[in-house]
Structure 1
Amino acid sequence: MASKQRYKVHHSTVLDAGPDAVWAELRDVLKMVKIIFSGGLGSAEWVEGGSLDRVPSRYNFTVGPDRDLFQQQVAGRDEVQRSVTYRSVAPVLCVVDYVATYHVREVTNDPHRSFLEWTRDVQVADDTQPEVVEAVLGMMAAQIDAVRDFFAPPDPSSQP
């Protein structure tokens, strides 16, 4: 059996929306999936009786031109701490195991902004090429930017 390469990834950003408004969107992992994959997302749905209000709860989504199937599970949600923990339930692409948690936190001196922290533990097959690992980790960095951009105020110069 091939061993696995393990990566701990931590990203954070400040969002231009208060924590309650951000949490109203991000407590639903399917909304998060839609934000981070936007145009590349095929389908995203709860499976096996899963739902927003049930934990644990399984969901699937497809991404990319080949519609690669991601099978994941919400493993925990803390409404007070505004955090979601989710994990992979099946390998996809080079990722053989994945656990992630994101937290929405207050910015103490600005109630109209919030802080998003996202920690991920990713294991890939040992024979995964370094450029593939780099691409996967780069995609994760771009995802936090997608969330930041989702909550950014509209650019007045782009208005007709």
Structure 2
Amino acid sequence: MTIQRKHTMYHSTIVDADPDTVWAVVRDALKVVAIVSGDAVKDVCWAEGGAVERVPSRYDFTLVFNDGLVQQEVAGRNEVERSQTYRAVAPATGVDGYVATIRVRPITNDPGRSFFEWSRELTIADDADTEVVETIIAMMAKQADSIRDYFAQK
């Protein structure tokens, strides 16, 4: 895999739950981190007075595989459109910048299901360890499916 300085990712999936049910879970950044990362992260917590109802709101977690601290914030949220944007607040593990947006959309002819989208842009540090960055990108590539699987188990 060739790592580019700007790495853009887009993943989507169909979730077997209605949009309001999905949104009630994924609007909480700590729940998203727990669902998509499981045992790969530790010490997931709100930081600097952050909370699910506050925007912007900072949260931190540690990557288990290299003990790297990740500091992010919920930078924006649109309750009507069921979208939320996150960004990195500090460089971490070879990633100088990170912006991501999740969206939960209704499926017009199947109101009991949702369309879940996750778009991301990473800015990779010039001196990044290629193996570490590849590991992070591989983890991210599976995360939309983790959201889908979480609701399938309900």
TM-score of the two chains, using structure 2 as the length reference? 0.91
Q: Tell me if structure 1 keeps the 8 A contact 2:19–2:105.
A: yes
Aligned to 1:141: 141
Q: C-alpha separation between the residues in 1 aligned to 2:105 and 2:146?
A: 18
**Which residue type is aligned with residue 78 of structure 2?**
D
% of aligned pairs identical? Answer: 52
User: What's the offset of the Cα at 1:118?
Assistant: 0.6
Aligned to 1:71: 71
1:89-141: CA deviation from partner (whole Å, max 9, x where unpaired): 11111111000000000011111110111110101112435554433322111
Matched, 1:113 2:116: no
Aligned to 2:59: 59
Aligned to 1:18: 18
Q: How many residues align?
A: 151
Q: C-alpha separation between the residues in 1 aligned to 2:126 and 2:46?
A: 31
TM-score of the two chains, using structure 1 as the length reference? 0.87
Gaps of 5+ in 1: 155-160
Aligned to 2:83: 83
Aligned to 1:96: 96
Aligned to 2:126: 126
Q: C-alpha separation between the residues in 2 aligned to 1:13 and 1:118?
A: 9
Q: C-alpha separation between the residues in 2 aligned to 1:132 and 1:63?
A: 11
Query: Of the two, which has the highest radius of gyration?
Result: 1
Gaps of 5+ in 2: none
**Which residue type is aligned with residue 12 of structure 1?**
S
